[in-house]
Amino acid sequence: MIRKPITVDFEKYPDVLLPYFNGADTYDSSCSPFAKVVFIDKNEGFYLKMAEKGTLKREADMISFFASKGLSKNVVEYISADRDYMLTERVLGEDCTYYKYIDEPKRLCDTIAVLLRQLHETDFSGCPIQNHTKLYFDTVDENYKAGVFDSSYIDESLKRLNADDAYKYLRERKDAFENNVLLHGDYCLPNIMLDDFKFSGFIDVGNGGVGDRHIDLFWGAWTLNFNLKTDIYRERFFDAYGRDKVDNEKIRLVSVIECFG
């Protein structure tokens, strides 16, 4: 994870957060233009995420739910004031882009596949997002109208589709999706934390909820290709997850959805 030393201007933060800064070194750990993340090196560590007002509520709720299942660390503070502030405990270990894990690609592939299957078998009773599919397709509708379409995600067999054809393709197949597993929502190597290959926790679960497993399966295969610079582990990943639950047509469908952001 990126950590650049910074000096904190205490006047810019709500008073309730100031005790966490006292006596601590601080680092900029941001990796997105839409949010600022500060690592606070105190005790076992904290991450303070800041973004536009109202935009972190879903993530705070999902992290709290994941933490209740032993799948993440707790939200310490969530404040919605001039902007949103979310303070979370640090998940120990390193994310799966760490060289130690990348250097053992087969073991890494099998590890994240098994972890995903375990996540999808977790009881989702009480999850704050019970219909991820609706939110997923709402985003498609919104971005289609806004002219958003990135064909780089689309399956090779569907490369012929332009934005209008892709949108029609999706609307005709919308009912194929189910809300029957607990999703991470952005199941990529940087969001899976391991401690010497032992599961430590998930981070960045703001796109999670109860939805269709093939969204996470798509991203699991995608991240192995993207981060390992090869697609040779794709089938191994699906095998390790369990072929009994993998529908390739649904994965192709997700690839079209992701073109709309």
Which residues are tagged catalytic?
A: 186
Distance CA 164, CA 169 (A): 9
The 3 state secondary structure assigned to 172-227 is HHHHHCCCCEEECCCCCHHHEEEECCEEEEECCCCCCEEECHHHHHHHHHHHHHHH
Distance CA 46, CA 25 (A): 11
Around Cβ 14, how many Cβ atoms within 10 Å? Answer: 12
- Asked whether the beta carbons of 28 and 48 are under 8 A apart, the reply is no
Query: What would the two tokens of residue 62 be?
Result: 């999902």
Around Cβ 37, how many Cβ atoms within 10 Å? Answer: 20
Q: What is the DSSP letter of 252?
A: H
For strands 75-80 and 94-95, give the pairing: unpaired
3-state DSSP call for residue 96? Answer: coil
- Asked whether the beta carbons of 80 and 61 are under 8 A apart, the reply is no
Around Cβ 71, how many Cβ atoms within 10 Å? Answer: 21
* CA 120 from centroid of its chain's CA atoms: 14
Per the DSSP assignment, residues forming a β-bridge with 89 are 46
Query: What would the two tokens of residue 20 be?
Result: 């966490």
- Asked whether the beta carbons of 260 and 149 are under 8 A apart, the reply is yes
